Structure 1
Amino acid sequence: MPIPDFIVELRSKIGRDPLPLTGVTAVVLDDRDRVLLTRRSDDGTWALVTGCLEPGEQPAVCAVRETLEETAVVAEVERLVSVEGLPLRVLPNGDQVYWLDVAFRCRYVSGEARVNDDESVDVAWFDAESMPPLDPRQTRCLALAREAAREPWYVS
């Protein structure tokens, strides 16, 4: 997975010190309420579509872009699901990141789900009965996205 140029430039100045970055999570659902998941190439786990916000990019635009880039699926954002600051994460290369994650409920528009970049080794739709395990934060995002409630979730 290539590191975005803007992060490479920042890292050249701050090294591996903690860097605050904004990420997005796209909970993409189809008309049968199946969820689109990717199997990550870095650790082999199944996950919701995620990505890093580019400088000047709007979070909802990022969710749509990342979905297309990673899965070849065109989606549209329906609503904000959650906003959450995540604990410090140390990446395998030693870089430290504080992610601010903005999660969106998205609706499938078109395209056939497939691996579309080097960040995934598999892409598939899953119904509630056949879901692989997700990490606890992503499990919560998926549950919140499937709820009828329109208010975003956040820690207060």
Structure 2
Amino acid sequence: MSDYISWLRSHVGPAPIQLVFAAVCVVDEDRVLLQRRGDDGAWGFPGGAVELGESAEEAAVREVGEETGLDVRVTELLGIYTKYWHTYPNGDRAQPITAFFRGTPIGGSLHETDDRAGAPPGAETLEVRYFHLDAPPQPLTNQQHADALADLRAGRSAVHR
């Protein structure tokens, strides 16, 4: 969790808030990269909070690097997904507003996918792995990620929900 979100939560507690995120659907041939999250153990697209002063694209590229070890190039906007709610394992509720991008790997190396058994408590990423576009793990972390995957598979772009 970013320092900004921690700061915001220290002021509002678990009350519902809006949070701005960016994520990349990293596609390599007919496979898509997914991250198993540390907070709920579910799979989703790598991404995270947009920091103050950062663009959505900058945040998406930074987060993918931090969470997966890959350097990526954003190729296009998949869509902006806004009308969703997410309840985190600690009970915090948020309306995530997420810019999902398509992207391709251009460098770096994927973090080990050994179930990250040695990951420290509170780690954001437990595992990263490519899945065939037609065989992702289910369910994904939330409906927002499921809708983005459906749009990616359908070849849509510039989606707004």
Given that 1:104 and 1:145 are in contact with CA atoms closer than 8 Å, whether structure 2 keeps it comes out as no
Matched with 2:138 is 133
Q: Mind listing any 5+ residue stretches in structure 1 that lack a counterpart?
A: none
Q: Percent identity?
A: 32
Aligned residue pairs total 151
Equivalent-residue separation in structure 1 for 2:87 and 2:68 (angstroms) = 26
Change (3 A) 1:134 1:113: farther
Partner of 1:63: 60
Instruction: Name the structure 1 match of 2:71.
Output: 74
CA distance, structure 2, for counterparts of residue 137 and residue 5 of structure 1: 23
1:124 alignment partner in structure 2: 129
Deviates more, 1:65-74 or 1:81-90: 81-90
| Per-residue Cα deviation, 1:104-147 (whole angstroms, up to 9, x for no partner) | 00111112211597212211112235422243432331342345
Tell me if the contact between 1:29 and 1:105 (Cα under 8 Å) persists in the aligned partners: yes
The amino acid that maps onto 1:131 is P
- 8 Å contact 1:82–1:154 — kept in the other structure? yes
Unaligned runs of 5+ in 2: none
Matched, 1:105 2:120: no
Partner of 2:6 in structure 1?
Answer: 8
Tell me: CA distance 1:94–1:142, structure 2 relative to 1, closer, same or farther (3 Å): closer
Q: Aligned letter for 1:153?
A: V
8 Å contact from structure 1 (residues 36, 126) kept in 2: yes
- Residues 148 and 110 (structure 1 numbering): CA distance in 2 closer, same or farther, change over 3 Å? same
Task: Give the structure-1-normalised TM-score.
Answer: 0.83
Which stretches of structure 1, 4 residues or longer, exceed 4 Å deviation after superposition?
146-149
Please, what is the CA RMSD of the aligned residues? Answer: 2.2
